[in-house]
A and B are shown apart, each in its own frame.
Chain A
Amino acid sequence: MSLHTVGIDVGSGAVKTVLFAFAEGEPRWLARRCERIRRRDPIELARVGYEEVLAQAGLRPRQVAYVATTGEGEAVPFATGHFYSMTTHARGGVFLDPAARAVVDVGALNGRAIAIDERGKVLAYKMTSQCASGSGQFLENIARYLGVAVEEIGPLSKTSRNPEKVSSICAVLAETDVINMVSRGIPTADILKGIHLSMASRLAKLLKVTGVARGRVLLTGGLALDEGLLAALREELLAEKITGLEVTSHPDSIYAGAIGAALWGAFRHERLAALEARAAA
Chain B
Amino acid sequence: MAETVARDAGLRYDALVNVFDRSILEVENRVYGDAFRRHLLAALERTVAARPEWAAGAEAVRAPIREVLERPLEETYVIGTGYGRARLPFSKEHIRSEILCHGLGAHVMYPGTRTVLDIGGQDTKAIQVDARGIVESFQMNDRCAAGCGRYLGYIADEMNMGLHELGPLALKATKTIRINSTCTVFAGAELRDRLALGERREDIMAGLHRAIILRAMSILARSGGVRDEFTFTGGVAKNEAAVKALRELVRENYGERTLNINPDSIYTGALGAATFAWRAVVEEGKVAERREEAR
A interface residue numbers (CB < 8 A to B): 12, 39, 41, 109, 130-133, 135, 137-138, 147, 167-173, 176, 179
- A173 with B185, Cβ < 8 A, contacts A41-B196, A179-B19 known: no
In the complex the two chains form, is B183's CB within 8 Å of A131's CB? Answer: yes
The residue on B at minimum CB distance from A172 is B145
**B145 cross-chain contacts in A, Cβ below 8 A:** 170-173
16 contacts between A and B (CB under 8 A): A12-B189, A41-B196, A109-B189, A130-B181, A131-B144, A131-B182, A131-B186, A132-B183, A132-B186, A133-B183, A135-B185, A147-B15, A170-B146, A172-B184, A173-B144, A179-B19
- Tell me the smallest distance from the CB of A20 to a CB of chain B, in Å: 29
In the complex the two chains form, is B196's CB within 8 Å of A171's CB? Answer: no
CA distance A170 to B192 in the complex (A): 20
- A172 with B143, Cβ < 8 A, contacts A41-B196, A179-B19 known: no
- Tell me the smallest distance from the CB of A199 to a CB of chain B, in Å: 14
In the complex the two chains form, is A171's CB within 8 Å of B122's CB? Answer: no
**B122 cross-chain contacts in A, Cβ below 8 A:** 173, 176
Sample of 6 more A-B contacts, CB < 8 Å, known A130-B182, A131-B183, A168-B143? A109-B186, A138-B185, A147-B15, A171-B145, A172-B151, A173-B143
In the complex the two chains form, is B143's CB within 8 Å of A170's CB? Answer: yes
A-B contact count (CB 8 A): 49
Number of interface residues of B (CB under 8 A): 20
- Tell me the smallest distance from the CB of B242 to a CB of chain A, in Å: 17
**B183 cross-chain contacts in A, Cβ below 8 A:** 130-133, 171
CA distance A168 to B183 in the complex (A): 14
**B267 proximal to A (CB < 8 A):** no
**B151 cross-chain contacts in A, Cβ below 8 A:** 172
CA distance A109 to B192 in the complex (A): 14
Which residues of chain B in 13-64 are interfacial with respect to chain A, using CB atoms and an 8 Å cutoff?
Answer: 15, 19, 21
**B150 proximal to A (CB < 8 A):** yes
- Tell me the smallest distance from the CB of B2 to a CB of chain A, in Å: 15
**A168 cross-chain contacts in B, Cβ below 8 A:** 143
CA distance A135 to B145 in the complex (A): 15
- Tell me the smallest distance from the CB of B22 to a CB of chain A, in Å: 11
CA distance A119 to B144 in the complex (A): 40
